[in-house]
Each structure stands twice: as structure tokens, then as C-alpha cells.
């Protein structure tokens, strides 16, 4: 999206805090804000899953600040919020399997950490608090989450994201805070964290194809997914910052492209684009071994996002994969190796602490 003159003026006059700003989504938001002329963009990240590489392109920008800190530390949250007009909260533990294996840590980061940030933002009198929720709060048998009401969350991760929405609503009503929640579907693109909740199947298939291994589709073809390219997510965040529509604040929005894609079609797209770098990938077979029957995956409608925020995503799954295939080919193997090493180091620290 191209900001209007008035919108550009409001961006250049404002200071922004992006929590989790060294991560996949947060770094893209920080970069876009700087490109739009923001007076200051501060990133708060503890580098647990984030990486300096993600902020390297703009780390020396004169209006950029990096603060090492953890949202579980209320003092760090208070310090990070000082002098800030807009908070874009994207720090989180984003792994469903990790949330099942260690729900306490997930809750501490995603629920308590979120509450810390709300309290700090309220104390700092920020103008608006924008945060990442997740389409995972919907269950597989919710085929039309049009009303925006979650079903029964199926993981501690999903519970924590629903709790975020409840806390934001309470702070809006009790304290008059402006909050906007963005429920992302499966986000993908450059800087994709291969171990995150977002579109985990994409790096899995990419790595298999790079190794000339056959992706195995083990669920029936009716089990379709909503994928969303990172530039569409950044657009939604910019709109949440810039909206002057009073009806648009204190709301939660579904953020996706509003298309459904089977895993079989996804694998075919990836095979097509990656074969540009290695022609032999074109001959890799996609294996269908249906062993599971799922209910139809919930379909995230975006009428509300379009009407109130003016959200109009530009990139389909195919468009986004075409733009990011080069990155996946060049950088994903290194990202996977480093992400696995980081996870092992965290597990070792946790084992020693226990």
C-alpha cells in the first residue's frame, strides 16, 4: 500500500515499538515503518527465536533502535514503551508442539508477557496497541468463522492467543485503550522461521524438494489451508496503525488472502518454482498417502477486515511463493540448521535449570 500525504505525515511524526522485531513478521514490519519515514522504530527482542540477520538490513538506520529484552520482564516492557506512540506486539512463542510439551513456558510468554506489554503500554499512554492473534483459535469443524467467535482451542498456543484477545478487550473497556488484534492464517515469505507455527509445511516441503525427496501428503485433499504472504500481513499492520475510523479500533480481524489451497497444490507450486534453481526438482514425485480424514479446515472470512480496515491483500499464495522462492532456495537450509541448534540449546538450558 502507498500511504497518502496525510498518512505519511502521521507516520513521520510517530514513534513505534515492535516487539519480536528481530523475528520473521516483526522485522518486516519494522523495515516497512522505517521506509515509510517513521520518526523512530524501536525493536524489543530477546533473540530466542529472532535473529540479528533479520534486522541487519536496517540496523544502522539513524531512526532505528534495538533493545534486548524479554516481555516476561515487566521492567523491560516499561522501558521499551517509554516515548512510544504505537505498539505492534509480535513477540511470542509460536510453536504448537512446544506449547503442548511445555504449556507453562508458552503461557508465561504468550499470556503473561502479553499482559505485561498491555500494562506497560497503558502506563506509557501509547495511542494504539496492535497485536498478533492467530487463526488457530478456530477449530477444524468451524467452516465459517464469520462471526469471529473462536471454538474450543485445540492447543495451549491457541488458548494463549485467545487470552490475548480477551485481555485486549478488557483493557479497551476498562482503560479506554485503543487495541486492534490481527488473526493471521499461515504466514510465509522471506525470513520465514522454519520452526514457527506459521505455514510450517512450506519449509518442510522446500527442504524435501531441495534434497530431491518426495513430499508426502498424508491427509485427504479436502483438507485445505489458508496461506498469506508476508507483504499482506505488513499491509494489515500499516492499516491498523493508520486507520482513523473509530469503528475499526477495539476489534479483532481475520487476516488472510481468502483462498483455500490443498497441500497437494502447494507442493506442486513449490516444485515448479524451485525447479528454476535445480531442474531435477521438476522430476520429484509428490506422494499421496492419505492416512487421515480431517474435517474441512476453517475458512477465514475477511469481509470485516475489508470494510473497517480497508484491507485488500495483493498477493495470492502463488504470487507470494513466486516472490519468495529465491529466498527459500538460498537461505532456508541455513535457517533450518540454525533454528534446530537454537532449539537444542534452549532445551539444554531448561534441562539444567530443572
**Domain segments of the chain: what residues?**
5-185+227-259+298-315, 190-225+261-296+316-354
CA–CA dist 19, 5 (Å, integer): 27
Catalytic (active site) residue 157: yes
pLDDT at 147: 47
pLDDT at 143: 47
Helix axes 317-353, 230-242, angle to 10 degrees: 90
pLDDT at 218: 78
Higher pLDDT, 310 or 95: 310
pLDDT tens by residue, 158-197: 999 999 999 999 999 999 999 999 999 999 999 998 877 6
pLDDT tier at 138 (50, 70, 90 boundaries)? confident
Mean of the pLDDT values across residues 95-100?
90
pLDDT tier at 152 (50, 70, 90 boundaries)? confident
Mean of the pLDDT values across residues 227-233?
97
- The domain over range 5-185+227-259+298-315 is classified in CATH as 3.40.50.720: yes
Helix axes 24-35, 230-242, angle to 10 degrees: 60
Report which DSSP code applies to 69.
-
Cell of residue 38, nine digits: 517513521
Strand ranges, E, within 185-336? 186-188, 216-219, 224-225, 227-229, 251-255, 261-262, 287-292
Catalytic residue selected from 66, 131, 157, 223: 157
Residue 229 φ/ψ, nearest 5 degrees: -75, 150
pLDDT at 354 over 70: no
pLDDT at 164: 98
pLDDT tens by residue, 269-306: 999 999 999 999 999 999 987 665 554 545 568 999 99
CA–CA dist 23, 148 (Å, integer): 27
Classify domain 190-225+261-296+316-354 by CATH number: 3.90.25
DSSP code string of 135-166: GGGS-TT-S--TT-------SHHHHHHHHHHH
Mean of the pLDDT values across residues 95-110?
94
Contacts of 37 (CB under 8 A, 6+ apart): 8, 11, 12
Amino acid at each position: 500500500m502507498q500511504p497518502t500525504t496525510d498518512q505519511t505525515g502521521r507516520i513521520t511524526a510517530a514513534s513505534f515499538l515492535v516487539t519480536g522485531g528481530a523475528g520473521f513478521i516483526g522485522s518486516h514490519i519494522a523495515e516497512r515503518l522505517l521506509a515509510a519515514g517513521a520518526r523512530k522504530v524501536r525493536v524489543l527482542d530477546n533473540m530466542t527465536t529472532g535473529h540479528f540477520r533479520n534486522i541487519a538490513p536496517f540496523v544502522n538506520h539513524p531512526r532505528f533502535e534495538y533493545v534486548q529484552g524479554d516481555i516476561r520482564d515487566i521492567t523491560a516492557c516499561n522501558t521499551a514503551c517509554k516515548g512510544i506512540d504505537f505498539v505492534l506486539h509480535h513477540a511470542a512463542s509460536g510453536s504448537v508442539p512446544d506449547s503442548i510439551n511445555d504449556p507453562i513456558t508458552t503461557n508465561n510468554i504468550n499470556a503473561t508477557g502479553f499482559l505485561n506489554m498491555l500494562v506497560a503500554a497503558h502506563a506509557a499512554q501509547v495511542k494504539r496497541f496492535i497485536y498478533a492473534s492467530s487463526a488457530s483459535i478456530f477449530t477444524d469443524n468451524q467452516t465459517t468463522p464469520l462471526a469471529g467467535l473462536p471454538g474450543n482451542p485445540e492447543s495451549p498456543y491457541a488458548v494463549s492467543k485467545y487470552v490475548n484477545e480477551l485481555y485486549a478487550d478488557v483493557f479497551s473497556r476498562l482503560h479506554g485503550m485503543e487495541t486492534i488484534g490481527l488473526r493471521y492464517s499461515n504466514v510465509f515469505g522471506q525470513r520465514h522461521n522454519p520452526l514457527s507455527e506459521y505455514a510450517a509445511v512450506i519449509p518442510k516441503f522446500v527442504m524435501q524438494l531441495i534434497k530431491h525427496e518426495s513430499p508426502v501428503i498424508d491427509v485427504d485433499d479436502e483438507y485445505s489451508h489458508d496461506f498469506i504472504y508476508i507483504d499482506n500481513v505488513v499491509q494489515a499492520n500499516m492499516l491498523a496503525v493508520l486507520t482513523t475510523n473509530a469503528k475499526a479500533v477495539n476489534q479483532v480481524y481475520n487476516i488472510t488472502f481468502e483462498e483455500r489451497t490443498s497441500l497437494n497444490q502447494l507442493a506442486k507450486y513449490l516444485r515448479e518454482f524451485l525447479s528454476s534453481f535445480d531442474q531435477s526438482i521438476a522430476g520429484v514425485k509428490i506422494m499421496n498417502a492419505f492416512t487421515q480424514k480431517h474435517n474441512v479446515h476453517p475458512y477465514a472470512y475477511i469481509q470485516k477486515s475489508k470494510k473497517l480496515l480497508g484491507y485488500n491483500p495483493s498477493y495470492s499464495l502463488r504470487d507470494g511463493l513466486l516472490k519468495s522462492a529465491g529466498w527459500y532456495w538460498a537461505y532456508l537450509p541455513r535457517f533450518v540448521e540454525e533454528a534446530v541448534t537454537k532449539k537444542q540449546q534452549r532445551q539444554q538450558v531448561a534441562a539444567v535449570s530443572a
